[in-house]
Amino acid sequence: MAEPSVLIELHSADRLVRTLVYEEMARRGLRPNLFAILVLIDLHQPVTPTDLALESGVRPTTLRDMIGEMVANGRIRRVENDADRRSHFLEVTDEGHRFIRDASAAMAAVEQRLAEGLGEPLESLRPGLARLRRVAREASTQT
C-alpha cells in the first residue's frame, strides 16, 4: 500500500493533537472551545472580524457565531472602529486572558509530552509549519 498523502498525515496529526489538548484541558476543568481563535485575537488585537477570518481560515459566517459565543462568555469584547463604522474591533477581556493563561499551561503539558515522544522540541517544527500556514492562507485568498 502506498503512503498516504502528506495532507492526510497533517489532517490526522491535527486531529490526534487536538484530542490530546482537549483531554488535558478537561483534566484541568477547562472547556477548550474556541481557544485557538481566542489566542489569535490576543495576538492580533485589536483585530476586525474580517482580518481574523483571513488569519484563521475560518469562514466569516462560522466566525460570527464563534465571536458571539466568546462575547457571551465574557472572553472578548467588541470595540467601535472609528475609521469604519460598518466594522468593529475585537479585544480580549481580563476573563479571556485568565482563560488563555490557564489553557496555555495545559498546552505546555501536551507539548512537553509530544516533545519527549519526538526526541526534540516541537519548536523545531515551527519554521515549516509557519511557512505552510502562510502559503495556505495566500492560496485561500486567491479562491
- DSSP per-residue string spanning 17-67: HHHHHHHHHHHTT---TTHHHHHHHHHH-SB-HHHHHHHH---HHHHHHHH
Give the C-alpha separation, 49 to 47, whole Å. Answer: 7
**47 contacts 41 by C-beta, under 8 angstroms:** yes
Give the C-alpha separation, 105 to 24, whole Å. Answer: 10
Condensed to tens digits (0 to 9), the pLDDT of residues 92-137 reads 999 999 999 999 999 999 999 999 999 999 999 999 999 998 998 8
CATH class as words, domain 6-141: mainly alpha
Condensed to tens digits (0 to 9), the pLDDT of residues 40-95 reads 999 999 999 999 998 888 898 999 999 999 999 999 999 998 888 888 999 999 99
pLDDT at 34: 86
Higher-confidence residue of 143 and 18: namely 18
pLDDT at 143: 60
pLDDT at 142: 73
pLDDT at 84: 82
**43 contacts 51 by C-beta, under 8 angstroms:** no
pLDDT at 117: 96
Non-local CB neighbours of 4 within 8 Å, separated by 6+ positions:
12
